[in-house]
Amino acid sequence: MAEAALVAHDLVRGFGGRRVLDGVSLTAAPGRRIGLIGENGTGKSTLLRLLAGVDQPDRGSVERPADLGFLHQEMTFPGSATVADVLDDAVAEAREDVAELERLAGLIAEGADLLADYAERLELAQRHEAWDADRRADIVLDGLGLGDVTRDRTLGSLSGGERRRLALAALVIRRPSALLLDEPTNHLDDDAAAFLEEQLRGLPGTVVLASHDRAFLDAVCTDLVDLDPAVEGPVRFGGTYSEYVRQKRLDRDRWERRYLEEQEELASLRDSLGLIAGRVAPNRTMRDSDKMGYGVRANRVQSQISRRVRNATRRLEELERRAVPAPPRPLSFAAPGLTLSAEHLVSLRKIRVPGRLSLDFLDVHDGDRLLVTGPNGAGKSTLLLALAGRVEVAGVRRHPDLRVGLLDQDTSFANPRLTARGTYGRALGAERVAQVPLESLGLLHRQDLGKAVGTLSVGQQRRLALALLVASPPHLLLLDEPTNHLSPTLCDELEDALGPGPGAIVVASHDRWLRKRWQGAEIGL
C-alpha cells in the first residue's frame, strides 16, 4: 500500500479584499517534512487550513490522503469529554486494524481467499504500529508533559496549554498518513519539544508544519517553504534550516558583491561620458596644433568619439534600467559615540519585587551582552523593566546620561491611527529620518509604510519597534522575547546584530535557537 502524497494546485485565498495566497502550489511526498516559514499574515495558517480541507480556496484544488490529521487551535471534543475519550479515539484505528487482522486470519484458516486483503490490512497496521498503540499513548503523554494528568479528567478542567498538548498527543499516537501542524511547539518546554521532534522524524507519511521555532525547524524539516513576499512567489528550499541559513547568507553576499560591482561600472561609465563630453565640448578653444591636422582627421575622430559615446550611453541606460537594488542595511544596534565613560551603566543590589523578582547582584557594563533565562514567572520581564526604570525598585543605580531602549513583549504605539512612516518620523525627527530612512532598513515593505500602525499585524508592529531602536541606538538595549512574532529569517538577522560593539544589550528569551548560539554572559532566574 503506497503512501499518498499531499498536493496543492495554484491555491488562491483572500480575505477582506486582500489576497493572502496567490497561486500557491505545493507537493508534499511521503517521508518529506515541510516547514512553512514567514511573518504572521503571510498565509501559513491559511495554507494549512486549505490543505486540511477545513477551509476552501477561492481558486485551485487540493489532493489529500483520506487519513489526514490537523492540529486545530481548539479540540473538537466537548468540554465534558475525558482524557480517556480522546485517547480511545486516537487508538481506535489501530485497534480496528488488529481486530480486522484477527477476523481475516480466521476466515483464511477456514479456506477463504483473502490473502491480498490480509496483506493490505497488515501493512496498514504496521504503519499505525497497531500492536503498540496503547503503550505508545502512555509514552507520548509523558513525553509531552501530560504524564501526571489522570485519564478521568475532563477537557474543561484542563488549561489551554494542556488541551493543546493533548490534541497534539492524540495526533502523534494516531500516526496519520499526512499530518498538518500549526505552531506545534507552543506550550512545550525544551524536553517536550525535543520529544516531539523525535516522534515526527519517525513518521513514514507526510508532515507539513508552520513554526517560528528555528531549533524545531532544523531538527524536523527536510524542506522549507518561505511564504514572505517575493517577486517569484513562495520559495522552496530542499534541506535543513541550518543549510537554509547558510544559503541565505551566501545569497546576500552575492547580492552585495553584484550591487557594488554594478555601482562601480555605473560610476566608470558616467566618468567616461563626462571625459568624452569634455573633449568635444563646443566652447573648448582649439589649439594651433589641432588646427593644422583637423581637416584630415576631423571626420574620423568625430566618428570614433560618437561611436564610443553611443556605446557608453547604451550600456549606461541598460544598467540604470535593470539596476540591482541596494540590499537593505544589516540590522545594527551600535552607533558612534554610544560609549559612556563609567564603571557601570546600571548596578542592581538586593532587588526585591514581591512575587515577581528576587535578585541580589547585577552590574551591566558598556559592551556587555547578557542573556536572561528562566521559566515563565521567574521575573525575566520584571528585571528588564527594573533596568529600564519602568518599575521603581530600591537598589537600582543608573548612569545619569544613560539612554535606554526597551522592546516589550507586547508592542504598542501611542497613536494607532498614525502611519508607520509618521510614527517613525515623529519619534526620530526629520534630521535623523533623513540619515536613516525607514525604507532603507528593509524591516517593512513599502506598501505598509503608509498604513496606520493599528492596522499592522503584530509582527509588522514589532518590526517598526525594532526600526526605531536601530535608527536611534541606546546605550542600554533591553529586548524582551525579541524573536516572538518575527519570521525565522529576521530572527537570524536580529541575532547577528546582537554581536560585539559599543553599548550594552540584555536579552530575555526562551528561544532555544538563540540560547544555543548565545556568545555572551548568561544569568538564570
Domain residue spans of the chain:
51-247, 249-281+292-321, 346-524
Cell reading at 102: 484477527
For the stretch 502-511, pLDDT in tens is 889 999 999 9
Q: Which residue has the cell 495526533?
A: 171
pLDDT, tens only, 202-252: 998 999 999 999 999 999 999 999 987 665 668 899 999 999 999 988 988
Q: Is 257 within 8 Å of 245 (Cβ atoms)?
A: no
**Between 74 and 405, the higher pLDDT residue:** 405
Please determine, for residue 282, whether its predicted confidence score (pLDDT) is greater than 60: no
**Spatial CA neighbour of 136 closest among 73, 48, 195, 190:** 195
Contact 346, 397 (CB under 8 A): yes
Least confident of 7-11, 78-82, 456-460: 456-460
Q: Which of 289-293, 302-306, 473-477 has the highest mean pLDDT?
A: 473-477
The mean pLDDT value of the chain amounts to 88
Query: Cβ(177)–Cβ(69) under 8 Å?
Result: no
CA–CA separation, 446 and 387 (whole Å): 35
Superfamily per CATH, domain 346-524: P-loop containing nucleotide triphosphate hydrolases (3.40.50.300)
**How far, in Å, CA of 248 to CA of 254, rounded?**
10
Band of the pLDDT at 39, cuts 50, 70, 90? confident
SS3 annotation, 319-387? HHHCCCCCCCCCCCCCCCCCCCCCCCCEEEEEEEECCCEEEEEEEECCCCEEEEECCCCCCHHHHHHHH
Res. 288 pLDDT band, cuts 50 70 90 = low
pLDDT value of position 198: 97
Across residues 60-85, what is the average pLDDT? 88
How far is it, in rounded angstroms, from Cα 296 to Cα 299? 8
The alpha helices in 110-132, defined as continuous H runs, are 115-127
Percent of the chain with pLDDT over 90: 62
Mean pLDDT of 79-105: 93
Higher pLDDT, 138 or 301: 138
The pLDDT of 479-494, averaged and rounded, is: 91
Query: How far is it, in rounded angstroms, from Cα 99 to Cα 411?
Result: 55
Higher pLDDT, 374 or 127: 374
Q: How far is CA 128 from CA 65, 71, 95, in A?
A: 15, 18, 10
- Give the integer Cα–Cα distance in Å for 385 and 511: 20
φ/ψ of 392, rounded to 5, equals -80, 115
Cell of 500: 560585539
Quote the CA–CA distance of 308 and 299 in Å, as a whole number.
14
CB 108 within 8 Å of CB 115: yes
Q: What local confidence, expressed as pLDDT, does residue 229 receive? A: 66
Q: Which helix (H) or strand (E) holds 496?
A: helix 488-497
**Close Cβ partners of 14 (under 8 Å, ≥ 6 residues apart):** 20, 21, 58
| Per-residue model confidence (pLDDT) at position 232 | 63
pLDDT at residue number 74: 63
Query: Over 70: is that where the pLDDT of 302 sits?
Result: no
Residue 383's pLDDT is: 96
Confidence of residue 1 (pLDDT cuts 50, 70, 90): low
Residue 480: is its pLDDT beyond 80?
Answer: yes
Residues forming beta bridges with residue 364, ordered by sequence position: 346
pLDDT of residue 287 exceeding 60, the answer is no
Contacts of 80 (CB under 8 A, 6+ apart): 154, 155, 156
Instruction: Report phi then psi at 340, rounded to 5.
Output: -110, 135
Confidence (pLDDT) at 102? 92
CA distance 378 to 302: 81
The architecture of the domain spanning 51-247 is 3-Layer(aba) Sandwich (3.40)
Give the contacts of 424 (CB within 8 A, at least 6 positions apart).
433, 438, 464, 467, 468, 471
Averaged pLDDT for residues 106-122: 91
Summarised one tens digit per residue, pLDDT across range 337-348 is: 777 777 789 999
Question: Residue type at 347?
Answer: S
Q: Return the pLDDT at 2.
A: 58
Per-residue pLDDT tens over the stretch 127-183: 878 898 999 999 999 999 999 999 999 999 999 889 999 999 999 999 999 999 999
Q: What is the mean pLDDT of the segment spanning 275-295?
A: 53
Q: CA geometry: angle at 309 spanning 308 and 314, to 5°?
A: 100
Name beta bridge partners: 200. none
Which cell numbers in the block locate residue 441?
532598513
Q: Say if residue 459's pLDDT is above 90.
A: no
Residue 431 pLDDT exceeds 70: yes
Q: Residue 322's pLDDT is what?
A: 83
